[in-house]
Amino acid sequence: MEDFVRPGDSALPPPPRKRSRARFLVSVVAAIVVLALAGTALAVLSQSATIEWREAAVAPAPPSSADTLQTNVKKLTKERDKLVRRLQSRLPKDPYILVDTAQNKLFFKKGEETLRQAVCSTGSYKLLESPDGRRWLFQTPRGMFRVLGKTENPVWIKPDWAFIEEGEPIPAKGAPERYDAGALGLYAMSFGNGYLIHGTLYRRLLGKSVTHGCVRLDDDDLEFVYKNSKIGTRVFIY
């Protein structure tokens, strides 16, 4: 029977038994430990949340794709401008000739200014082989050249391949059949290894890759380029 005090009783309860007191102490200690652990966990969670909040408040927001794109555009624009300045510093001070063999276009330029743009014809890239095993690839050379010679009313001295191509017998050196006075137009400018910038009888073929390596121009364009060039004028072909 449990000991208890009824209301109105003035008597004190008897002291608890030793076993009950031990259980009470154990439960109290356990409660204190649980509360301590709970408090520690709560403090850790609170501190972690505070740190994350502070980092979120201090750290910048991640850049958007638009910001990244704009940054890349600015970087590329800066690099492009640097390359343009470098190229501009290397441009010839005097007028020069620029030939685009892919588009069959010729530009007569001074610095970045185009003084004349013309349709031209360039090498066909056809391969011709003679019965004796000689071979010719009809291509316009690429690179940087200079005007080495200027001739008015030029006469074409036909090489061996011109006769082989037509299926005709090859005449001796200096034979009259080798000289063609009208094939090159009114002007011709040499830029090395037998290659010329000259006129043409086949204006309908301008803009096409049909030549044996020379650069052909219409009469008006050829006259302008010829009269505005000099020995040493640079010729860039690509």
State pLDDT tens for residues 23-79.
Answer: 544 443 444 444 444 444 444 434 544 444 454 445 455 666 778 888 888 889 888
211/27: higher pLDDT: 211
Tell me the whole-structure pTM to 2 decimals: 0.65
The pLDDT of residue 37: 45
Is residue 122 over pLDDT 60?
A: yes
The pLDDT of residue 62: 63
Asked if residue 105 and residue 37 are part of one domain, the reply reads no
CB 122 within 8 Å of CB 209 = yes
Asked if residue 106 and residue 39 are part of one domain, the reply reads no
**What size, in residues, is the chain?**
238
Asked if residue 37 and residue 113 are part of one domain, the reply reads no
User: Residue 199's Cα: distance from chain center in Å?
Assistant: 36
State pLDDT tens for residues 69-109.
Answer: 888 888 898 888 888 788 777 788 899 999 999 999 999 99
204/63: higher pLDDT: 204
Which residues, in sequence order, are CB contacts of 114 under 8 Å at separation 6+? 107, 108
Asked if residue 177 and residue 100 are part of one domain, the reply reads yes
Q: What is the pLDDT confidence band of residue 158, given thresholds at 50, 70 and 90?
A: very high
Asked if residue 51 and residue 102 are part of one domain, the reply reads no
Asked if residue 216 and residue 115 are part of one domain, the reply reads yes
Is residue 128 over pLDDT 80?
A: yes
Average pLDDT across the chain, whole number: 81
CB 109 within 8 Å of CB 115 = yes
The pLDDT of residue 151: 98
Mean pLDDT of 18-24: 45
Asked if residue 102 and residue 52 are part of one domain, the reply reads no
Domain encompassing residue 194: 96-237
Mean pLDDT of 131-147: 97
Asked if residue 131 and residue 25 are part of one domain, the reply reads no
